[in-house]
Each structure stands twice: as C-alpha cells, then as structure tokens.
Amino acid sequence: MARGYNAAMPDAATALLKRLSDNSAPYRDPLAQVNWNELGTDSDWLPESALSLYGLPEYDKFSAAVRRRLSQYEFINVMQCGLWLESVFLQRLTRRLHPGLPRAEYEYLLHELREETGHSLMFLEAIETSHLPLPPGVWRAPRLADFIARHAPAGGALFWLAAVIAEDVPDKLNRCLRQYGDRLHPAVRQICTLHVVDEARHITFARSRLDLLLAKNGALRKTMLAATGRLLLRQLAEVFYFPPAVFYELAGLPRGAAWRRLALKNPTRRRFVAQCLAPTLRMLEGSGLRAGH
C-alpha cells in the first residue's frame, strides 16, 4: 500500500529535502538570465585549451575560422548531452510523483522538475540563437547509459548511481570551464553558472539516495555496481568531451571520423578530461565505489 502524502520520513532525510526545496524556492528562469544578444558566432565560445583537438600539431594549422567554429560546435555538443540527460531525468522524476509520496519529497521533486525543464529550454534557446546548422539525428546518446538511465528500477542503487554520474560529469565540466574566467565567452559562462547552481542541489539529492542504498548492499553488490559505474563514466565522458564525427565536419574539418579518432588519442585532451573527472572519481570512492576511469 502506498504511503500517504504526509507519511513520515526519517528526520535527516526530511530536513535535507526541506533545505534543498528552500534553496530552490527563489527560482531564476534561465531564459531571463542569459544575455542572448551576446551569443553570436563571430567569437569563440570556448577557450582553445578546452577543445578536443588542442595540443595536436594539426591544430596549429587550423584557420581562426575553423577554431572558432569548432569551439561553438563543441559547446553545442555539451548542450546536446544536457538535453538528453535532462529529458531522461524529467521522464523518470515525473513517474515518481504520486499522492503516496511524503510531502517533503513531493515538493523537492517539483522543484527539480522545474529546474531541469529550465535547463533544457536554456540549451534549446542557445542552439537556436546560434543559427548554426545542426542536421537531425547527428547526435546520439550512448546505448548502455541511455538504457540504464531509462530502465533501471527507480528505487534501486543502480538507478541512483547512474543519476549521480550523469549529473556530476556535466557539473564538473561546467566548473572546469568557469575556471577560465574572462577567457570564457560571457554568455557561455552564464549558461554554465546557472546550470552549476541548480545541479549542486540535484547532485546532493541523488547522492543522499545512493549512499542510503549502498549502506544496505554487501561487498559483492558494491563490486558489481562499481563495474557498471566504470562503464557509465566511460560512456558519458566520451560523449561529453569528444563530439560526434559530424560535428568536426560541420566545423570545417573534412573526414570527421578521423579527427574524432585523433581527439580520442590526444594526450592533452585526455589530461583535461582526467582533471575534470577527478572530483567525480573521488566522490564515488568516498561512497565505497572505485569507479576508476
């Protein structure tokens, strides 16, 4: 039987949910916060050292126009990843809403749904504002990560492990990009900042659920979860940090598949990725999951 809407929850869990909801209460609509007039295609969106081909000898031969367009498509790739993940979160969170939920959880989920929806609208607006060509179907979600995110039981540790990784990977990339300060495009910095502020709460919620469930799992179960976490982290890192081959071609580089292979092997890029993923790895290890990448 479902618990009543005001059913009791552990005091610590209720207090956390209320605190997160209180912090979400002064909602800021991302569409009203970003200066969209600044997001033109006549300037770099990302610093050169944040690009997947930076550090390769071939990169030094690129024209300024190609470097600029590459920076724009690489950030569009990040936003496409965001749209995919937000769509999954919206679907899964919506299914959790029912009258049997304790009020504190019900209220928090409504706040998160509002914020995730705002992020998706922000990404769509940025992509549309750019007026850059983006043929349908050129970006695809990684199969395993997408399947687990959509079909893992919502009350289980696997689902919340996927949620933590899926929220933390883009969050840490946003934080790495914000460290560039004035070298990061102003509108892109606004988008990253707005995303970071909300995701801090979402990650806290997902981690609290994961840690609670992990406390009930034995060593074998944790080993299996850690192995799955490695696969999820690898797939998410690859789609976030290495755009699809077509994106390189759209940026003006023929034979996009060859450029993507070079990016995947690029030592400079791999160091950048490792730096961004390090906090996620430490977090998972702190939860008893050694999901090394």
What does each of the 293 residues of the chain score in pLDDT, given as a tens digit? 233 334 445 688 889 999 999 999 889 899 999 999 999 899 999 999 999 999 999 999 999 999 999 999 999 999 999 999 999 999 998 988 888 889 999 999 999 999 999 999 999 999 999 999 999 989 999 988 899 889 888 888 999 999 999 999 999 999 999 999 989 999 999 999 999 999 999 999 999 999 999 988 888 888 999 999 999 999 999 999 999 999 999 999 999 999 999 999 999 999 999 999 999 999 998 888 865 44
**Structure pTM?**
0.91
pLDDT in tens, 26-79: 898 999 999 999 998 999 999 999 999 999 999 999 999 999 999 999 999 999
CA distance linking residue 168 with residue 200, whole number of Å: 9
pLDDT in tens, 125-137: 999 999 999 999 8
Q: Which CATH number fits domain 61-286: 1.20.1260.10, 1.10.620.20, 3.40.50.2000, 3.90.600.10?
A: 1.10.620.20
In the chain, what is the greatest distance between 2 CA atoms, to the nearest angstrom? Answer: 66
pLDDT in tens, 108-118: 999 999 999 99
At residue 162, the pLDDT reads 93
Q: What is the 3-state secondary structure (H, E, C) of the chain?
A: CCCCCCCCCCHHHHHHHHHHHHHHCCCCCHHHHCCHHHCCCCCCCCCHHHCCCCCCHHHHHCCHHHHHHHHHHHHHHHHHHHHHHHHHHHHHHHHHCCCCCCHHHHHHHHHHHHHHHHHHHHHHHHHHHHCCCCCCCCCCCCHHHHHHHHHCCCCCHHHHHHHHHHHHHHHHHHHHHHCCHHHCCHHHHHHHHHHHHHHHHHHHHHHHHHHHHHCCCCHHHHHHHHHHHHHHHHHHHHHHHCCCHHHHHHCCCCCHHHHHHHHHHCHHHHHHHHHHHHHHHHHHHHCCCCCCC
CA distances (Å), origin 292, targets 224, 250, 285? 13, 33, 9
Domain boundaries, the chain: 61-286
At residue 10, the pLDDT reads 62
Dihedral, CA of residue 228, residue 234, residue 238 and residue 239, to nearest 10: 20
